[in-house]
A and B are shown apart, each in its own frame.
Chain A
Amino acid sequence: MSSTVVITGNEAAATAAKLARVQVVAAYPITPQSSVVETLSRWVESGELAAEFVTVESEHSALTVCLAASTVGARTFTATSSNGLAYMTEQVWWTAGARLPVVMGCVNRSLAAPWNVLNDQQDSMSVRDSGWIQLYCRDNQEILDTFLQAFRIAEELSLPVMVCYDGFLLSHTVMPVHVPSAEEADAFLPPRPAGLQIVDLNDPRNIGPVTLADPRRDASGVLHGGYMEIRHAHQQALAEALDVIPAVDAEFADVFRRSWGGLTWEHRLEDAEVVLVAAGSLGMELTLAADELRGEGIRAGVLGIRAYRPFPVEHLCGKLVGRTLAIVFDKALSYGYGGPICTDLRAALSGREKMPTVFGTITGLGGRDVTAAQLAEEARAAISDAEAGMSQRRTVWVNLQDVAADGKTMCGVRE
Chain B
Amino acid sequence: MSRHCEIAQSTPSIGEGGHTGDWRSSRPVIGEKGCLAVKQGKIACQICWVYCPDACIAQGAPPSIDLDYCKGCGICSQVCPAGAIAMEPESRHR
List chain A positions with a Cβ less than 8 A from chain B: 97-99, 155-158, 193-194, 196-197, 203-211, 218-219, 224-225, 227, 229-230, 233-234, 236-237, 240
Tell me the smallest distance from the CB of A263 to a CB of chain B, in Å.
19
Contacts of B16 in A (CB 8 A): 206, 209-210
Q: How large is the interface on B (under 10, 10 to 19, 20 to 34, 35 or more residues)?
A: 10 to 19
Q: Mark B19-53, 1 if CB is under 8 A from A, else 0.
A: 00000000000000000000000000000000000
Query: Closest CB-CB distance, A37 to chain B, in whole Å?
Result: 28
Chain B at the A interface: SS class = loop
The listed residue (B5, B10, B12) touching A233 by CB distance below 8 A is B5
A-B interface pairs (CB < 8 A), number: 67
| Contact A219–B2 (Cβ < 8 Å) | no
* B3 (CB) vs chain A CBs: closest residue: A240
Most-contacted residue by chain A among B1, B4, B11, B18 (CB, 10 A):
B4
Give the CA-CA distance A54 to B16 in the complex, in Å. Answer: 31
Q: Does B83 contact A (CB under 8 A)?
A: no
- From B2, B3, B4, B8, A209 is in contact (CB under 8 Å) with B8
Pick from A97, A158, A207, A218: contact of B5, CB under 8 Å: A158
In the complex with contacts A193-B1, A210-B17, A229-B12 CB distance below 8 A: no
In Å, the complex CA distance between A167 and B83 comes to: 48
Indicate whether A205 sits within 8 Å of B4 (C-beta atoms), given known contacts A210-B16, A210-B17. Answer: no
Closest B residue to A236 by beta carbon equals B4
Instruction: Contact check, B11 vs A99: say whether CB atoms are below 8 A apart.
Output: no
Minimum Cβ distance to chain B for residue A236 (Å):
4
Smallest beta-carbon distance B48→chain A, Å: 15
Residues of A within 8 A of B8 (CB): 97-98, 207-209, 211, 227, 230
| Contact A237/B11 with A209-B16, A210-B17 known, Cβ cut-off 8 Å | no
Pairwise interchain contact B9-A158, C-beta atoms closer than 8 A: no
List residues of chain A with CB within 8 A of the CB of B2.
Answer: 99, 155-158, 196, 237
Determine the distance from Cα of A97 to Cα of B48 in the docked complex, in whole angstroms: 28
